Amino acid sequence: MFQEEIQRYYEALREPKINKIEELVREFIEKHVSSVVILNEGLIGAMGIIGQEFKASKLWVPEVLLAARNMHRGIEILKPELLKNNVPSKGKFLIGTVKGDIHDIGKNLVIMMMTGAGYQVIDLGIDVPQERFLEAIDKERPDIVGLSALLTTTMLEMKEVVKSIPKNFSSPPKIIIGGAPVTRKFSEEIAADGYGEDAIRAVELADQLLMSKGMI
């Protein structure tokens, strides 16, 4: 995508009127731009600029909230395109954003990609405490659990959840983690089964883990 096009996504994310982002995403779908490009370069690219401006205090929380609302709407419009290659259920995937953290755009993208790849997804939402993960794992018996965190402080909560799962289950699910501050090194340190830098990698990772269990 050209810089000017990414700029249009940026402007649409900043726009109080929600129809701007709706029109823009539809325009690009009609122009046959790949849905993955619209997502990764348009929407996520523009959100990256918002993130930098937020960090530099050029934007404030209400403006970022507005961008998040617009981003959700853009993703909603793109969803049918991204889910076009639907395949039968591969396994159960349970995901949540950990305690203390309310960021959910990335988590929702992971959910969308996992659904599109054929996983049955259980979404625990945001600000999910360790006990809630354990209860849900007990009830749902997922094959894979995903943890999302966007704050350096809540990354530490991931460590607690990852530690508690094998302690509570004799055949524990595989655990994958992700979110902007998370790294492969951190995932190794806390003994998660895998780290995914984006939603596409989340699917690859889940497939690999199930393959190693002989499930697919």
Binds ligand B12 by CB under 6 A, chosen from 15, 34, 54, 121: 54
The CA distances from residue 165 to 40, 139, 144, 171, in Å, are 32, 13, 11, 10
Closer of 22 and 204 to ligand B12 (Cβ): 204
HSE-up of 57 (CA within 13 Å, CB side)? Answer: 0
Rounded CA-CA distance 112/36 in Å is 12
The token pair at 42 is: 């348009």
Buried b / exposed e over 110-122, threshold 16 CB at 10 Å, is bbbbbbbbbbebb
Q: CB 79 → ligand B12: shortest distance, Å?
A: 14
The reply to whether 130 sits near ligand B12 by the rule CB under 6 A is: no
Binds ligand B12 by CB under 6 A, chosen from 42, 91, 116, 146: 146
Q: CB 170 → ligand B12: shortest distance, Å?
A: 23
Closer of 173 and 178 to ligand B12 (Cβ): 178
The reply to whether 175 sits near ligand B12 by the rule CB under 6 A is: no
The reply to whether 177 sits near ligand B12 by the rule CB under 6 A is: yes
The reply to whether 181 sits near ligand B12 by the rule CB under 6 A is: yes
R_g over Cα of the chain: 18
Rounded CA-CA distance 99/156 in Å is 10
The reply to whether 186 sits near ligand B12 by the rule CB under 6 A is: no
Binds ligand B12 by CB under 6 A, chosen from 21, 64, 137, 161: 64
Closer of 30 and 197 to ligand B12 (Cβ): 197
Rounded CA-CA distance 79/41 in Å is 16
Rounded CA-CA distance 68/210 in Å is 33
The CA distances from residue 117 to 21, 41, 114, 174, in Å, are 26, 21, 5, 18
Closer of 7 and 152 to ligand B12 (Cβ): 152
The reply to whether 50 sits near ligand B12 by the rule CB under 6 A is: yes
Residue identified by tokens 């094998």 is: 166
Q: CB 210 → ligand B12: shortest distance, Å?
A: 14
The reply to whether 18 sits near ligand B12 by the rule CB under 6 A is: no
Residues that bind ligand B12 (CB under 6 A): 44, 47, 50-51, 54-55, 61, 64-65, 68, 100-107, 109-110, 146-148, 150-152, 176-181, 196, 198-199, 202
